Chain A
Amino acid sequence: MGEHLTITASDGFTLNAYRAAPEGAPRGGLVVIQEVWGVNKWVRSVVDRFAAHGYLTIAPAMFDRVELGYESENYGPDQFAVIGEMMKKFDQHTALLDVEAAIKAVSDAGKVGITGYCFGGAMTWRAAAHRGMGLSAASGYYGGGIPNYIELAPQIPLEMHFGGEDKGIPLEQIEQLKATHPCVGIHVYAAGHGFCNSDRPSHFDEVACTKASARTLAFFRQHLG
């Protein structure tokens, strides 16, 4: 089990985070970027899982600048408009400052990697394309809005995992992403969007998630230690 803490970004903003440490000396550090429901129960379980694999792992609360302390377990449509209104204030630039703060919070563990899901998957690509973040490897999951990040060239080893039956991400855009960045490992599974969130049974695909998670772990072993 991890701990709740606060971290401070370079512009002085203080945000919440959840961090878990491995038993014994860490292999490296890892940042986990949430889905749009905040650092909720499932995201905390992901942090705990990576810590169990030997990484000092942290998940920064990426929406704290919009609404401090936001997290939700309600995946139902009754919350969509509420969150939609809230997210009109979200800023991609300051989000990278929060990612940077999270990286610093685990950098004593050694090389630092980043992973993320949906919102966090797109953010993983953006962080991997941003020089000077202090990252050594990145493994992102089903980051939507590919046209908005396809032109950003990764600066570190990067892999991405997508669902071939994702109703929010066109398959041809994934192919285009792979063609534009042949150095990026792009893996496509027979699954839909959000296939790794086990708290959303309607979208969870255990087979695809198990394969993807094993790839992510092997990727981090190779590049972080």
Chain B
Amino acid sequence: MHAYSRSPLSIRKAMLVVALADAMVDRLFAAADDPKDLLEFRAAVSAENGALSLVMELAAHRPRGPQLTVIERQIALEQYGALPLEDFMVSLYNNHSVQRLMVVGLPTAMEAEAVLQQAVAELRSLVQVS
């Protein structure tokens, strides 16, 4: 997550977080006291953890499933004060727009950084419980 946070527009680094988070679910299954069925375990994890479920769908890379993509977004003047410095600088000479890494293929697109942070938080909770 650290490497991704330093390059939050990088699909490759985001996909690394996705792959590692997905693999961690399998590790949790393997570390269980009496592991029974991996697919059932993953389904149960998915049902109880929204962001992690979305990350597992990204890892599955289904043709009609969610995908990561960089999208250009217009910035309203009142939002300028909240922009990070680099976004501010770049937006000024790019038609007042910034780029964002988004999870698309959902009813509503979501910012990838928020999804990944929440998924990692959910994973940490699962690790503590186990």
Stretch at the interface among B21-29, B51-59, B85-93, B116-124: B85-93
Give Cα distance in the complex from A58 to B116, angstroms.
46
**Taking the nearest CB of chain B, how far is it from the CB of A115, in angstroms?**
16
Please determine whether B89 and A36 come into contact, CB atoms closer than 8 angstroms: yes
Most buried by A among B8, B92, B96: B92
Which residues from B are CB-within-8-Å of A145?
90, 93-94
Task: Kindly list chain A residues whose C-beta atoms are within 8 Å of the C-beta of B110.
Answer: none
The residue of chain A having its C-beta at the shortest distance from the C-beta of B91 within the complex is A84
B12 within 8 A of A: yes
Quick check: A75 and B85 within 8 Å, CB to CB? Answer: yes
Partner of B10, one of A77, A83, A84, A170: A170
A193 and B89 contact, Cβ closer than 8 Å, known pairs A164-B7, A168-B98, A170-B70: yes
From A75, A167, A171, B87 is in contact (CB under 8 Å) with A167
Interface size on B, residues (CB 8 A): 32
- A148 proximity list for chain B (CB < 8 A): 94
Q: Is the CB of A81 within 8 A of B78?
A: yes
Contact indicator B93/A84 (Cβ below 8 Å): no
Cβ of B84 within 8 Å of any chain A Cβ, yes or no, is yes
Closest B residue, CB atoms, query A76: B85
Complex Cα distance, B29 from A177, in Å, reads 42
Q: Quick check: is A118 within 8 A (CB to CB) of the other chain?
A: yes
Is B77 engaged at the interface, CB distance under 8 Å to the other chain?
A: yes
B126 within 8 A of partner (CB): no
Q: Is residue B39 contacting chain A, with contact meaning CB distance below 8 A?
A: no
| 5 intermolecular pairs with C-beta atoms under 8 Å apart | A92-B93, A172-B12, A173-B70, A192-B86, A193-B89
CB within 8 Å of B: which residues of A?
Answer: 35-36, 75, 77-78, 80-81, 83-85, 87-88, 90, 92, 118-119, 122-123, 144-145, 147-148, 164-173, 192-194, 200, 202-203
For the complex of A and B, list the 5 residue pairs with the smallest distance between their C-beta atoms, beginning with the closest.
A144-B90, A168-B86, A193-B86, A145-B94, A170-B9
Chain B residues in contact with chain A, CB under 8 A? 6-13, 70, 72, 75, 77-78, 80-94, 96, 98-99, 101
